[in-house]
Each structure stands twice: as C-alpha cells, then as structure tokens.
Amino acid sequence: AQKVTQAQTEISVVEKEDVTLDCVYETRDTTYYLFWYKQPPSGELVFLIRRNSFDEQNEISGRYSWNFQKSTSSFNFTITASQVVDSAVYFCALSEALNNAGNMLTFGGGTRLMVKP
Amino acid sequence: EAQVTQNPRYLITVTGKKLTVTCSQNMNHEYMSWYRQDPGLGLRQIYYSMNVEVTDKGDVPEGYKVSRKEKRNFPLILESPSPNQTSLYFCASTHYLGSEQYFGPGTRLTVT
C-alpha cells in the first residue's frame, strides 16, 4: 500500500533562514504523482506543486524549490530566505495511477513550520 | 475566479440531527472528493465521484452519504451524526486522474 512519511513534525527557524522539509514515499506503482500543499493558520489547503513519476527535474518557483529523487523515493521542499508568512503546516501527498479510481491523495502527516521574526 | 466553495464553514450540532454540507466547484471538473482531517490521522478520503451519478466509497465512508446530481455540486450528508464525526471536512475537485486537486475552505463540524 502507498505511504507518505514526513519525519519532521515541527520545524522552527528564524526569518531569512533556508529550510528543507523532507518527504519520503512508498508505492508499487511505476506511474504516480506527488504533490505539496500548504495549510496556513486560516485552515485552507493551498496547492503548491505537482510532479509525475517520470519527471525528475527539480523545480524552482521564487523562493520555493523541490528536489525529486526516485532513487531515494524522496520529494523534498526547500524554502529559501524564509519569511513569517511561510509559517504553516506543509503536506506532501501521493496519488497512484493504478487502482485509484477515486483519484485519492495519500497525505503525509504534515510538517508544521514556524518562522520567527 | 476558479474556486471550490463549501457551506457552512462552521457547524455545531447534536447527535442524530441530520445535516448536509454543500460543495460546489466552478471549474467544470469531473472528479470530486470529500476528505476529513483529524489530529494524528491526517487527511482521509470519505467518498469520491468520477462524474454525475457516479460515486463510490473512499477510505472512511461509514456514517456518510453523498450524491452527484449535477457536475458542479457534491453534497456530503450525515444522516445521524455522532461525536466521532467531529472533524474538519474538505471538499476537493480535479479535472482528471493524477492532476492537482483544488480544495474548498473547509467545514469545521462539531457533534455534541
């Protein structure tokens, strides 16, 4: 069965520090999709990025970057020069292509990031 | 603006009193889902729908019903709510399998 592990439950940094959120996944499918979502204190879930299993290119979007490595089944998320507004819970999620008619997302437990001024 | 809306956002009710949480999306998405979020258990899928009149159970369907009579709407029905259904509920929609899912703002339900 699929599984997503976010070993860091809480991380605290000071503003302008770089921080990396780890995500390790397990799946038997060769085709799958990985996601990161942000849940700020207001509670909504905000989509950040999607990656399919055939695209291992790293991605950068402003201060955000993602490192996808199939060899280690990891999809890590780095925030450069963190800001107080980055404080949130971040979820990594997996969606398998096979036997997933409901397009179900399997979420990790989340990492609470606190950025202090 | 492309969005998923849910109502109500907050609801406190009593055991056994039927309730419905509405969900609507304006993106013409085929797939819609309901998730619940609980401390220590994360987000789990309750029900999903692949299109109008096509629904099926997710991981934790007990105590819930859904319907999909129109493409844009996917209400979640609790016929006889119990305290263990106290949770934060999210509706989500997506265009096709594997694409990103867009979540509604959440409905915080308390059953006493």
Judged by CB atoms closer than 8 Å, whether chains meet at B50 and A33 is answered as: no
CA B77, B25, A48, A100 torsion: positive or negative? positive
Average pLDDT rounded to a whole number, residues B26-46: 95
Which residue does chain A place closest to B104, by CA atoms? Answer: A44
Residue A26: what pLDDT? Answer: 97
B68-103 pLDDT, tens digit per residue, is: 999 999 999 999 999 999 999 999 999 988 899 999
Distance, in angstroms, between B69 CA and closest chain A CA? Answer: 17
A5-36 pLDDT, tens digit per residue, is: 999 999 999 999 999 999 999 999 999 999 99
Residue B52 pLDDT > 90 = yes
Q: What is the DSSP letter of B100?
A: P
B7-34 pLDDT, tens digit per residue, is: 999 999 999 999 999 999 999 999 999 9
State whether residue A85 sits within 8 Å of chain B by CB: no
* Among candidates A35, A43, A104 on the partner chain, residue whose Cβ is nearest the Cβ of B100: A35
Residue A101: what pLDDT? Answer: 80
Residue B23: what pLDDT? Answer: 98
Interface test with B, best of A3, A35, A103 (most B CBs within 10 A): A103
Q: How far apart are CA A5 and CA A7, in angstroms?
A: 6
CA A91, B93, A27, A76 torsion: positive or negative? negative
Judged by CB atoms closer than 8 Å, whether chains meet at B106 and A110 is answered as: no
Residue B2 pLDDT > 90 = no
Judged by CB atoms closer than 8 Å, whether chains meet at B97 and A100 is answered as: yes
Distance, in angstroms, between B42 CA and closest chain A CA? Answer: 6
State whether residue A52 sits within 8 Å of chain B by CB: yes
Identity (one letter) of the amino acid at A71? S
State whether residue B59 sits within 8 Å of chain A by CB: yes
State whether residue B54 sits within 8 Å of chain A by CB: no
State whether residue A48 sits within 8 Å of chain B by CB: no
Distance, in angstroms, between A113 CA and closest chain B CA? Answer: 16
Which of the residues in chain A have pLDDT under 70? none
CA B33 from chain centre, in angstroms, equals 6
Average pLDDT rounded to a whole number, residues B37-57: 94
Q: How far apart are CA A7 and CA A13, in angstroms?
A: 17
Distance, in angstroms, between B50 CA and closest chain A CA? Answer: 7
Average pLDDT rounded to a whole number, residues B30-46: 94
CA-based nearest residue to A43, from A94, A9, A91 = A91
